[in-house]
Structure 1
Amino acid sequence: MTEDTWPSDPSPEKVRREWSATVSALPVGTRITGQVVGRRPFGVFIRIDGVPNAVGLADIGSMPPSARLPALGAQITGEVVWHTDHNHEVRMRLSEWIDHS
């Protein structure tokens, strides 16, 4: 998988269909763990452990200047900070970024 490759699972349809359950399972403030499955110039996408049809996004807007985007495949921890309804993303801030603040 290259940095620009998006995994085929979960499908956008699964993510959309399970959105209400995702929001219920991951309220703001929830600590999460997961794996980086995509990197883009604006942040990293995360497959969240225990919520297989959720897509997490840690964007560079919450990244301190001294921090770096985690590598593809990295295991991360973080906290849910928002739910983006229009594209069904769980916005998060990574623990390693909090430590750099």
Structure 2
Amino acid sequence: MSEYRWPDEGPGFAERVRHAWTATRQALPVGTRVTGTVVGRRPFGVFLRLPGVPDAIGLAEIVGMPADCELPKIDAVIEGKVIGHAEHNHQVRIGMVGHKDVPE
């Protein structure tokens, strides 16, 4: 498996995310503290599953990570806060404040 992968949340996930977008923005307004699990990695950041909001996808971009932080691995737990909402692709933008990788 490649070091980088897209999140695999099953068939129809993108459509569910699109339909749930209004509820997602209401449930996760800017400033909300969140804890999420890494479900996908790309060179620019990590995609997160956000508990309590099953049809949401979070994105913590590398430019928003602490300077001494490495890109978290799949299944790592991320702590952060909502810094915005990307309307064009229905992603919750997360500013990461810390993470804990799962032991291999």
RMSD, aligned CA: 1.7
Q: Secondary structure at the match of 1:96?
A: strand
Q: Secondary structure at the match of 1:95?
A: strand
Structure 1: unaligned runs, 5 residues or longer? none
Q: What percent of counterpart residues are identical?
A: 51
Aligned equivalent of 1:94:
96
List 4+ stretches of structure 1 deviating above 6 A.
Answer: none
Higher helix share: 1
CA distance, structure 2, for counterparts of residue 32 and residue 58 of structure 1: 11
Aligned equivalent of 1:7:
8
TM-score for both structures, normalised by structure 2: 0.85
The 1:75/1:64 distance shift into structure 2, 3 A limit, reads closer
Aligned equivalent of 2:102:
none
Structure 2: unaligned runs, 5 residues or longer? 100-104
Contact (CA 8 Å) 2:40, 2:47: kept in 1 or not?
yes
TM-score for both structures, normalised by structure 1: 0.87
Does 2:84 match 1:63? no
Equivalent residue in structure 2 for 1:35, among 34, 37, 53: 37
